Chains A and B, each alone.
Chain A
Amino acid sequence: MGNTSSILTQYDIEEVQEHCNNTFSQQEIVSLYQRFCQLDRNSGGFISADEFLSVPEFAVNPLAQRLFRMIDGLNFKEFVAFLSAFSSRATLQHKVEYIFKVYDSDGNGKVAFSDLLDVLRDLTGQFISEQQREPVLTQVLEEAGYKKDSILVLSDFMKILGSNGLKMEVEVPVD
């Protein structure tokens, strides 16, 4: 499935569905494919930086750069797998794992204070100063029972985020 011809066969759909653990229905995969082809304007088989950032709603998102590092150069199958965390059929575990991956930019399974600080910086920009950010994060961490130099792993994230359920769903328009 390297080329983006506008025709998707049944085999392709089933392959993609399996790859994303059945989180999307076949119709949703077809819609996502149309969307992928629409974004991939030069038909390179993947969506490049320029093409993602040409969607204004995405470009104004504070976490766009971070997400962009995860999504750059993905082919369609991986694109669907990337979005599978946002399906209504995705498990809570899957969603928490996804959030963990966004924090864990170097992919070593550990989220340190610096990673948390980085994401907080993306979200708050220049409106909280560098000097203010650290103490805020430290204070909140300590209140939750962690220390400033604690390393958080996936199970910690599950404990913190998993208790009240996560609302992280996107509806794929199906015509």
Chain B
Amino acid sequence: MVISQRNPLSSRTSKMNKLTTSSSELDLDRPNIEDYLPTDSIPQPHAKLRLRDLLDISPTLTEAAGAIVDDSFTRCFKSNPPEPWNWNIYLFPLWCLGVVVRYGILFPGRVLILTIGWIIFLSCYIPVHVLLKGHDKLRKRLERALVELICSFFVASWTGVVKYHGPRPCARPKQVFVANHTSMIDFIVLEQMTAFAVIMQKHPGWVGLLQSTILESVGCIWFNRSEAKDREIVARKLREHVEGTDNNPLLIFPEGTCVNNNYTVMFKKGAFELGATVCPIAIKYNKIFVDAFWNSRKQSFTTHLLQLMTSWAVVCDVWYLEPQNMKPGETAIEFAERVRGIISARAGLKMVPWDGYLKYSRPSPKHRESKQKSFAESVLRRLEEK
């Protein structure tokens, strides 16, 4: 009897099916992907051009077939559920017992903890927010503490076991924190320790409500992925926030999308060109207990949370790494890649050269054109040979 845990495939919203090429959005952030893509399609020898060379499209075909069979981009977003271990006669009843414990005992207990946490939080937050309107400094401090409190309750509701390594972040101007992104719970796990200000995509539903009310008090910046002009506005807001002295430290997830905690996709350079010190944070979840990757194409956030609340535990490590500054002569993109290397090395993640936003749109024709260009140049050059 094999029962594997499968994520139910929910119906996709029409928004996901519209793959638009917003090439302006994608072009600006990319270092040389051509360095990573296979270059076999360029015929190397300088011999005279023969008919065979024009007819032999096998390198290009091989690349295409290789991409069909396996590609590094899709691998980043593959959920890796834990292996089913309940496959024989005595393990299966144990697993059933586990299910009963998880759904019947742990889950109600956790819901209770979370409800208590919310009651405490709201009964403190609302008075503080309303009554202390004049005393901004005190109000901010209390709200910060309360947000940290509710995040701790959330973490407790998944039996979160989080080990923090390294010096705790402190609130100083001219610094930003960057971390790799696996799920929205990354934010909660980090917020539990320090009240960060965060930059997020505006979500619908109850998450959006939380974003616009409670998160506003710690300072949040919104962006909209599909708005190309949005970038300049967001960049300006980021700069203002970082330069302000009274703001909470800013947390940015430069990948721009959730990745499955085995790989890192390319970092967007926005966080790295603010002229601030960048403090990397690496987060790694232990997959034995639960796969914390939020596959936003397959699950809503509510389903994801429920899945976490009916698992045994969420175990993760958080490393606060050494703050980095841009080296002289380094571009923002090189800086971003360097920091990505530091985070990936610490958390044991593999780096892939793809832009996370390719989840939502097609790659820019620039890449195909560069391949065409190399081939064309080689053909013309070899034509001249005797």
Contact = CB atoms under 8 A, between A and B. Distances in A.
Interface in A52-73: 52-64, 67, 71
29 contacts: A35-B68, A38-B74, A39-B74, A43-B9, A53-B19, A56-B71, A57-B63, A57-B71, A58-B71, A60-B37, A60-B368, A61-B368, A62-B371, A62-B372, A63-B60, A67-B64, A99-B61, A120-B54, A123-B57, A124-B375, A125-B373, A127-B376, A137-B54, A140-B54, A143-B50, A161-B52, A168-B58, A171-B69, A173-B69
Given A63-B61, A167-B58, 14 more contacts: A6-B6, A50-B17, A50-B19, A54-B362, A55-B67, A55-B73, A59-B363, A64-B64, A124-B376, A126-B369, A126-B372, A157-B55, A169-B62, A170-B62
B367 interface: yes
Interface stretch (B165-173, B191-199, B285-293, B377-385): B377-385
B379 A61 contact: no
* Most interface-central of B9, B51, B362 (chain A CB within 10 A): B51
B55 A160 contact: yes
Interface of A: 6, 32, 35, 38-39, 41-43, 50, 52-64, 67, 71, 83, 86, 95, 98-99, 102-103, 116, 119-120, 123-128, 132, 136-137, 139-141, 143-144, 146, 157, 160-161, 163-164, 166-173
Contacts, number: 165
Contact of B50 (A61, A140, A173): A140
A103 B380 CA distance: 22
A99 B68 contact: no
A132 B362 CA distance: 31
A169 B71 CA distance: 15
B354 interface: yes
A73 B14 CA distance: 21
B376 A125 contact: yes
Contact of A86 (B50, B65, B72): B65
- Which 7 A-B pairs give the minimum distances between C-beta atoms? A125-B372, A127-B376, A57-B67, A144-B51, A124-B376, A58-B67, A60-B367
B51 A143 contact: yes
Interface residues of B, number: 50
Main secondary structure of the interface of B (DSSP, over half): helix
Contacts of A71: 68
B372 A127 contact: yes
A61 B57 contact: no
A63 to B, nearest CB: 5
A124 B68 contact: no
B379 A56 contact: no
Interface in B14-63: 17, 19, 37, 41, 49-52, 54-63
A95 B71 contact: no
A124 B379 contact: yes
A52 B369 CA distance: 19
B58 A95 contact: yes
Contact of A99 (B9, B58, B376): B58
